[in-house]
Amino acid sequence: MKFKKVLRIVLIFVFVYFGEIAISFSDKSTTEKIFPSEDKIPISLRLSNNLSAYESMQQFDLHIESFMQKWNIVGASVAIVKDERLIYAKGFGYADKENDLKVEPKHLFRIASISKLITATTIMKLVDEGKISLSDTIFGENGILNDEVFLDIKDKKVYNITVENLLNHTSGWTNKKGDPMFLNLAIAKKMNAELPLKQEIIVQYILQNSKLDYSTGKKSSYSNFGYSVLGLVIEKVTKISYEDYVITQILNPIGIYDMRLGKSLEKDRFENEVKYYGLKGERNVLSSLGTGEKVPKFYGGNSIETLGSAGGWLATPAELMKLLVAIDGFTFRNDILSSESIEKMTKSTKRIRPFGWTGTDKNGFWWRTGTLSGTSALLKREQNGLSWVLIINTTPKYGARFPVQINKTMIKGLSTVGDWPSYDLFDYYEPKSMQNDRLVFDN
């Protein structure tokens, strides 16, 4: 009887905790977003590390811990899907080292360029719904962005750029003169604009001052700027903000309630967002927000608000897996995109990138990397039914090449697992009443 009383107290505490979380996520927006509540609890807030602490993955856990120690990583979070079932979601290290707060599945991380996969998925959903076409042009009087502010165009070849060219990075723009998404101070000065810089201002600047570096459609040249433009395309077509549309039309319908665009400064961290850390001895830089201060790159040096559709999203690994299983082409769960759109997204050649993904191959491997100061992530879909993501909250050594180290670690770790759990953490809920003195899975 004492055990039942103790367990009842624990369950009451959990219920009250989730009630407090619901209140902390309240929003005054007039859009019909679904935020966490007692009946709409995000996957990540339903889980805890102990739910993924089982014997068959102890060696895997040791690989992750060794990886973190080797590369001086403060905190990390991992989620694994097998046959579209979430079988593992676990945090390692610290979400906030100074306050001794350990990483749990509930913690949000900046996902950097994995954001492009979200943007590409949204565009392809609009294609499926007939609201946009891949062949639609972007600029000029006959383009989607035919607003007056975008009609001052230096290079008339820009008129040929289509939605597809932005998706597969074949617009013709390169970063030879620097990535415009990270030239906030220079562009603001040139355009006499306020900081943080809005994406519209960067687009105006590029149109008015730049020529294409190569012929549109010829080859892929990675472009954060192109995905920033796609965010504006989504707003123009849907007539609501990019973030609101993604949340209400892509994420909420598949049960994702706790992904959002991030903020640049530490004081603006969301309640369940991790704290970010730099490399030892890393120098501060001039604030991208125009304060004149020297700040860490990960807290003001890079403008997360400006990156938006190209790299501004926050997510938990568990909720990223929820999105992945909705676009992975497997048949255990329904996809939100047509098979034709998924095929187009994942088609690539030696010279042309896929849509949203970093890369795909003939063996059925699809992967998406994301790296900024303070974070690095790798999301991967494998043909054998395994999909996974690992995210860290520490500036990685080797920068954008660091996901190679993540991949090596995950491959080694996953090879040690002999038996996969049969349950699905996507369906895990704490009991809603005190009628049963045990934890249950709602199917």
Q: Are residues 373 and 299 in the same domain?
A: yes
pLDDT band per the 50, 70, 90 thresholds, residue 44: confident
pLDDT above 90: residue 353: yes
pLDDT surpasses 70 at 14: no
Query: With 90 as the cut, is the pLDDT of residue 73 above it?
Result: yes
* Pair (329, 392) in one structural domain: yes
Domain boundary among 243, 277, 299: 243
Q: Give domain status of residue 401, yes or no.
A: yes
- State pLDDT tens for residues 192-230: 999 999 999 999 999 999 999 999 999 999 999 999 999
Q: Answer yes or no: is pLDDT of 186 > 60.
A: yes
Same domain? 269 vs 410 = yes
- Mark whether 289 and 418 lie in a shared domain: yes
By the 8 A CB rule, do 387 and 325 touch? yes
The residue-averaged pLDDT of 362-381 equals 97
According to the model, what pLDDT value does residue 171 have?
98
Domain of 401 in residue numbering reads as 2-111+259-429
Mean pLDDT, rounded, for 123-127 = 98
Cα distances from 216 to residues 119, 145, 208, in angstroms, run: 21, 18, 18
Q: Is residue 437 part of a domain?
A: no
CA distance 290 to 201: 15
Do 144 and 239 fall into the same domain?
yes
* Same-domain pairing of 267 and 386: yes
pLDDT computed for residue 3 by the predictor: 41
- Asked whether residue 272 is domain-assigned, the answer is yes
Tell me, yes or no, whether 399 and 425 share the same domain. Answer: yes
Write down the pLDDT at residue 41. Answer: 86
Domain final residue, candidates 211, 243, 275: 243
For residues 239 and 264, membership in a common domain is answered with no
pLDDT (0 to 100) of residue 430: 61
List the single range of 332-346, 381-395, 427-441 with lowest mean pLDDT.
Answer: 427-441
The 3-state DSSP class for residue 249 equals helix
C-alpha R_g of the chain: 22
Strands 101-102 and 85-96: antiparallel
Q: Is the pLDDT of residue 401 over 90?
A: yes
Query: What pLDDT, on a 0 to 100 scale, did the predictor assign at position 39?
Result: 62
Q: What is the mean pLDDT of residues 375-379?
A: 98
Same domain, 52 and 136: no
DSSP 363: T
Query: Does residue 393 fall inside a structural domain?
Result: yes
Distance CA(56)–CA(40), nearest Å, equals: 31
Task: Return the structure tokens found at 149.
Answer: 């502010």
Count CB-CB contacts under 10 A for residue 103. 24
| Rounded Cα–Cα distance for residues 68 and 72 (Å) | 6
Count of domains forming the chain: 2
**pLDDT at position 54, please?**
85
Q: What pLDDT, on a 0 to 100 scale, did the predictor assign at position 432?
A: 53
What is the rounded CA–CA span in Å between residue 368 and residue 372? 14
pLDDT of residue 152: 97
Q: Which of 214, 243, 272 is the last residue of a domain?
A: 243
Considering the domain boundaries, does residue 213 fall inside one?
Answer: yes
> Within this chain, do residues 219 and 264 fall inside the same structural domain, yes or no?
no
Clarify whether residues 309 and 421 are in a common domain.
yes
Same structural domain for residues 281 and 425? yes
